[in-house]
Chain A
Amino acid sequence: MRQFLALAGGAAFALTAMALTAGSAGAITLEELKEQGFARLAIANEPPYTAVAPDGKVSGAAPDVAREVFKRLGVPDVAASISEYGAMIPGLQARRFDVITAGLFMKPERCEAVAYSEPILCDAEAFLLKKGNSKNLQSYEDIAKDETATIGAPGGGTEEKLALEAGVPRDRVIVVPDPQSGLKMVQDGRIDVYSLPVLSINDLVKKANDPNIEVVAPVQGAPVYCDGAAFHKSDTALRDAFDVELAKMKESGEFAKIIEPYGFSAAAAISTTRDKQCAAAQ
């Protein structure tokens, strides 16, 4: 019993220590990033938004835009680390990265948690299914209605939230660790639908080269979302500097030159604003 008490006491002490050390980081300034020589990005390895080549080189539309903007701001390089979508915002808050550039779509509750730049990449949602779509699933509501239908989505991603909001119960929304696993689970029939943004699904289908799968895009009733580079809530000065360069690139056409080869529409991102996106779907 004494041992038990000692352990319990130790646990309580650890908890207190944790609570005390958390939340001590201040704002990061552009000067600090310049001095450091690189900005730390959070990415997801979901082409075409973010991609990591077998040799470790980071590309994808979101990091490419961020790299160019940071270069113009005088930060010569970026260093990216792969993270789960759900872990990005907590990681940003814990100062593990300086900015999230991963196609993390603006949603009201995310706008509360982070400081977004102006919109960068816009896309609709898509479904990946087995050929024939035997359950005729065209929207998240269809999945909610069909009691046998299951949907896979990245944990903490927009699609998981859309499915839950549409009324799909938790036990039919399977959290899938990465796009490759999602594809495999559809092929194996473990899930009926795997949902990601249109361009990600198209990229996945192209790579899979499997005649037995098909795509529903765009998903009916699901809004078009835009992402932005997401900064820590207290780094608004850095975010504003980022926005200035981003706006210049949008104006000069260089923005389009970076993202259009990936299949994204620059016009879609230019035609909307952060305020509109953050207010959407309230």
Chain B
Amino acid sequence: MEWDWEFVWEIMPMLLAGVRITILATILGSALAAVVGLVIVIARRSANRAVSRTVGFLAEFIRGTPLLVQLYFIFYVLPDIGILLPPLLAGVIGLGLHYGTYTAEVYRAGIENLPRGQWEAAKACNLTPVQTWIHVVMPQAIPPMIPALANYFIAMFKETPLLSAITVLELMNQAKSVANSSYRYIEPITLVGVFFLVISLISVIGLRWLEKRFGRVA
């Protein structure tokens, strides 16, 4: 078994198509996770106990079960009750929900880290709840969250090969289908590793910058 550069160039277009889907799934998944996390954290802070308990339980449930199981459920079981999602959308929803439960914890930590005095001061200044959130809480709570959120972004990126289980033609699946018809694993799978490494390294550099920029504000 030898490394064959000609074969590498031959399969490159297919793998790049896979990279595109991988990045797309990560970006859409992160956007969804950011929103889902926000919804979860707000619902859990709700004064209505029924709401906060139910959402809390659901979030723990999703956080405590494997992503792969959830993907199978979304893709193969939901059609039984009439919900038929295209593979990529099912994958993005799976990633978004799963990582949303993690980002919710990041949000919670950020909000709870805010000294109690800030809330009391806001109240003393007669700010409405909306004003309190927009002008007092968020500007102080969000910057420390950013590095942690970016971390989950990279973690999610590295979990996208799981989507190959529900027939999304992302990078891993493309590499497998190349290997399936050429009987060669060494080049496609190595390239998958290289692609992930390169993109992760670039993301890490971006992450460092974010840490410097926002990390020590609070």
The main secondary structure of chain B at its interface with chain A is helix
Q: Give residues of chain A (91-144) contacting chain B, Cβ–Cβ below 8 Å.
A: 93, 113
A161 x B84 contact (CB < 8 A): no
How far in angstroms is the closest Cβ of chain B from A20? 11
A174 x B167 contact (CB < 8 A): yes
**B2, B177, B180, B181 interface centre (most CB from chain A within 10 Å):** B180
Selected interface stretch from B119-127, B138-146, B149-157, B184-192? B184-192
Q: Give residues of chain B (155-169) contacting chain A, Cβ–Cβ below 8 Å.
A: 165, 167, 169
B180 x A155 contact (CB < 8 A): yes
B181 x A15 contact (CB < 8 A): no
A86 x B181 contact (CB < 8 A): yes
How far in angstroms is the closest Cβ of chain A from B11? 13
- Bound complex: CA of A18 vs CA of B193, how far in Å? 13
B1 x A156 contact (CB < 8 A): no
How far in angstroms is the closest Cβ of chain B from A73? 27
| Contact among A7, A90, A174 for B185, CB-based, below 8 A | A90
Interface size class of A (residues with CB under 8 A): 20 to 34
Per-residue contact bits, chain A 157-190, to B (CB 8 Å; 1 contact, 0 not): 0001100000000010011110001001101111
B183 x A155 contact (CB < 8 A): no
B3 x A19 contact (CB < 8 A): yes
A188 x B84 contact (CB < 8 A): yes
A11 x B194 contact (CB < 8 A): yes
Binding site for A on B (CB under 8 A): 1-3, 76, 79, 84, 87, 165, 167, 169, 173, 176-177, 179-181, 183-186, 190, 193-194, 197, 201, 205
**Ranked 8 nearest A-B pairs via Cβ:** A86-B180, A156-B180, A188-B79, A22-B1, A89-B183, A23-B1, A155-B180, A90-B185
